[in-house]
Amino acid sequence: MKSLTRFLWTLCLAAALNAQTSLSSNPLAQFSQSLEELTSTVSPAVVQVQVSAWVTGEGARGEVWSPGSVVGSGVIVDPSGYIITNEHVVHNARRVRVMLTPVDSSAGAALVPPGTRTLLEATVVGVHAPTDLALLKVEASGLPTLPIYEGEPVRPGQLVIAVGSPAGLDNTVTLGMVSAVGRQPHPDAPMVYIQTDAAISPGSSGGPLLDVEGKVVGINTFILDNSGTSQGLSFAVPAAVVKGVYDQLRNHGSVRSSRIGIYVQTITVDLARGLGLGRDYGIVISDIAPGSPAERAGLKVRDVILEMDGAPVETVPWFAAAMHLHDSGAPLELTVLRRAKTLSFRLPVVPVETSAYGDSGLNPERDSIPRLGVVGKNVDSTVHMGLRSSHGVYVAAWLAGAIPGESQVEPGDVIVSLNDAAIISVSQLGERLEALTPNEPAVLQVERGAGYFFVTLDVD
């Protein structure tokens, strides 16, 4: 019996040694095992983001808002429950939940029991639409995390993996490489992205792009394909941008930056020839806001920006990043080329910050006007341009279920009065409409196109 036992142990040991020898002599097997181990390590820190939101669609008479759902992805970056995702995933959210990924019990202690999923309510700490990033928070502790990469920028050819929930299929892992860096959707875009051929699809948004050490080198954001599925053209927000936005959203709930009141665009050969610029590369001032620090300092449209704070400026993204990083309490030093002359300016900057989440934009739950079947927005500086009215309610969209013809107002109208009483806000208009009694005359004055019109309402 002892001899048989010894024989069996010898066979097991030989098999194990043979497997190790086979693995060590097979680079592909080693590579596969490394990917398996990496996937097992990073997956628990990737979550599915489930959002109940107001979604838009096109109706016969314009844009329609209705309740809907969105699925995206996110990555846990702090064990106390901070999660990074995309802004477009939580846009117009009414409720946000995250689904945790259980840890394989064979690889260590399980976060949740294998085969189950835990849903946690999440709050939106803040969003930054220009970078399409958002920060969520769940009430938890000891969660698995992934570090945001802070080393040298990734390089073309570098292997990466994407983890997310394409089409709602949670914990999906794809492999690819960095195809290009510093990629812009168009020449004047202020953002640059990492391009990769790692497959992502709708639902992958907000998930991490990881290097072979499991560090977050980017946040998967969009694809270029009309079919809505990945064709090897996937784009991620670089880790350096993610880290900067994350720190500000966590500390302030918003992202702070500086402005001087200019708009810039990329110089092309044709643009340089047509405008008679001093060089055919770099960036040129295309517009200056009236009353801005730039106008007061004497900057002009067609000035070519050479340097900011002593550093060369050659691209729109570089300019945007420099303005974002500039200390709002310090003056900005700018060197420009105007025809054949080099001029230097020293001008103050205006500190700006993104609005706290929920403080701006349309909120159909808050801004709906059921009696008219529309969603409205107060006329303010964000919608006033091009309007004759200085006050009123801008009709932004239809509510789902609104019956065509029941209301004579339509998207694009500005409601300025009800029964000759001025309207200044959505809430005021809603209250006055609800206060109307059956068969009471009701006449709205609206701005439509270039003129004003009267619209009657049937009060049931």
Beta-carbon contacts of 393 under 8 Å, excluding residues fewer than 6 positions away, are 369, 376, 377, 378, 379, 414, 415, 423, 425, 426, 429
The C-alpha atoms of residue 334 and residue 236 are separated, in whole angstroms, by 31
Question: How many C-beta atoms lie closer than 10 Å to residue 30's C-beta?
Answer: 12
Which of 73, 91, 128, 132 is the catalytic position? Answer: 132
Q: Are 98 and 139 in contact (CB under 8 A)?
A: no
**Residue showing tokens 């050819």:** 157
Phi then psi for residue 174, to 5 deg, are -130, 150
Q: What is the DSSP string of 323-377?
A: HHHS-TTSPEEEEEEETTEEEEEEE--EEEEPPPTTSSS--HHHHEETTTTEEEE
Which of 43, 73, 88, 230 is the catalytic position? Answer: 88
Which of 165, 204, 205, 230 is the catalytic position? Answer: 205
Among candidates 79, 89, 103, which has minimal Cα distance to 49?
A: 89
Question: How many C-beta atoms lie closer than 10 Å to residue 304's C-beta?
Answer: 23
Which of 168-183 are b and which e, b meaning 16 or more Cβ less than 10 Å from the residue's Cβ? eebbbbbebebbebeb
Helix (H) or strand (E) holding 256: strand 256-259
Residue 88 annotated to the active site: yes
**Residue 302 structure tokens:** 């067609």
- DSSP letter assigned to residue 29: H
Residue 326 annotated to the active site: no
Task: End-to-end CA distance of the chain: give it in Å, rounded.
Answer: 96
Residue 225 annotated to the active site: no
Q: Is 449 left (phi over 0), alpha (psi -120 to 50) or beta?
A: left
Q: Are strands 332-338 and 118-128 parallel, antiparallel or unpaired?
A: unpaired
Q: How far is CA 336 from the centre of its chain?
A: 32
The C-alpha atoms of residue 285 and residue 267 are separated, in whole angstroms, by 10
Q: Are 423 and 393 in contact (CB under 8 A)?
A: yes
Question: How many C-beta atoms lie closer than 10 Å to residue 202's C-beta?
Answer: 17
Residues assigned a catalytic role: 88, 132, 205
